[in-house]
Amino acid sequence: MNVSHLEWIITLGVTVAVLLFDVAIVGRRPHEPSVGECALYLTIYVGLAAAFGFFVWTYHGSQFGLEFFAGWITEYSLSADNLLLFVIIMASLAVPKKYQQQALLVGVVLALVFRGVFIGLGAVAINQFSWVFYIFGAFLIYAGFRLGRAAAEDGEVAESRPVRFARRYLTTTDRWDGLKLYVKHGSKRLMTPMFLVILALGTTDIVFALDSIPAIYGLTSQPYLVFTANVFALMGLRQLYFLLGPLLNRLVYLSAGLAVVLWFIGVKQLLHALRLSGVSVPEIPTLLSLGVIVLTLVVTTIASVVSSPRHLHRCDDAPGGSAAS
C-alpha cells in the first residue's frame, strides 16, 4: 500500500483537530452529556470511519478497504468491551459524573499515545523479524483464553498495582478539583482522586494496547491502516461510554465473542507465519475474516440481548446481588 506523505500529514492533522475540538468542548463546559448529544457525535464518528473506509477502497483497492473495515470493527468491538472496565473504574473511584468526560478524554489521549507506540514497534518487528507472527499468534490465543474467563475479575483493574502503590506511598486527598492531579495544602502537594483515575485508565490502556495491536496486525500489515483503524475506534469511545454504560452489563456474552475473534485471528497469524517459513498451509482471506468477525459479534450480541433478562433475574435473586452489580 503506497501512502504518500501528504496523506499521512492530513490524517494526523485531522486526528489532532478532532482531539482539540473534544478538549475545547469538554474543557469549556464539563457536564454529563445527554443521550441525544452522544448519539449525534457517535453517528458522526461512525460515518467518518465508513467514509474513510470507502476512500481507502476507492483509491487503494478493495483488499485494503476490506482490511480497514475488518481492523476497525475488531478494534471498535474490543473498545466496547473495555468500556465495562472504564465503568468499573469510575464507580470504584467514585468519580463525579461532571468530571467523567474529562477523565475519559484523558484516557482516550493516553490510549492513542500508547497504541501509536505499539503500532510503531509492531511495524518494525514485522519488517525485521518474520517469526514475530508466531509470537503474535500465540499471544492472541492466550489473550482469548484470558478474556474468556476475565468477566468475574474485571473489578480488579481499578485497584491495579500502580493504583495500590499510589494509595500506599503518596499523600492523597479526597477533594476533587477538575482535571488537577494535585492540590497544595500548606507546603505539601496532595494527589487528588483524579490522579488515581488517570493512573488506572492509563495502566488499563496499556493492557488494551497489548491485546488490540497484535490483533489488528493479524488482519493487515499496513501501519497506516492499523493507525487509522485505532483512531476511528477511539474517536467515539467517550460518547459510547455514556450511551451504553448502563447497558454494558447486559452484554453477558460479548467477552466470549471477542475471545473467539482473538482465537480466530491468532490462528490466522500462525498460519501466516508458517507460510512465511515455507510451509504449505491454507490462507484465510480477508473477506472471510471480516465475515467471521461480524457474524461472531452479531450472534453474541443477540444471545446477550435474549438472555439478559434471565441473567439479571438471577443476579437479583442472588444473596446481596443486584442488576447493577
Maximum distance among all Cα pairs of the chain, rounded to whole angstroms: 71
Closest by alpha carbon to 133, among 54, 71, 215? 215
Quick one: pLDDT at residue 64? 92
Q: Which residues of the chain have pLDDT under 70?
A: 22-32, 81, 84, 148-162, 178, 186, 244-249, 308-325
- At 74 the pLDDT is 86
Closest CA to 178 of 159, 165, 197: 197
CB 239 within 8 A of CB 41: yes
Beta strands in 121-230 (DSSP E): 182-185, 188-191
From the list 40, 10, 300, 22, the residue with the least C-alpha distance to 147 is 300
The rounded distance, in Å, linking the Cα atoms of 224 and 11 is: 9
pLDDT digits (tens, 9 = 90+) for 135-176: 888 888 887 787 766 544 544 444 566 677 777 777 777 777
- Per-residue b/e over 288-319, b at no fewer than 16 CB within 10 Å? ebbebbbebbeebbebbeeebeeebeeeeeee
User: For 219-265, what is each residue's pLDDT tens digit?
Assistant: 888 889 998 988 888 877 777 777 766 666 677 777 788 888 888 88
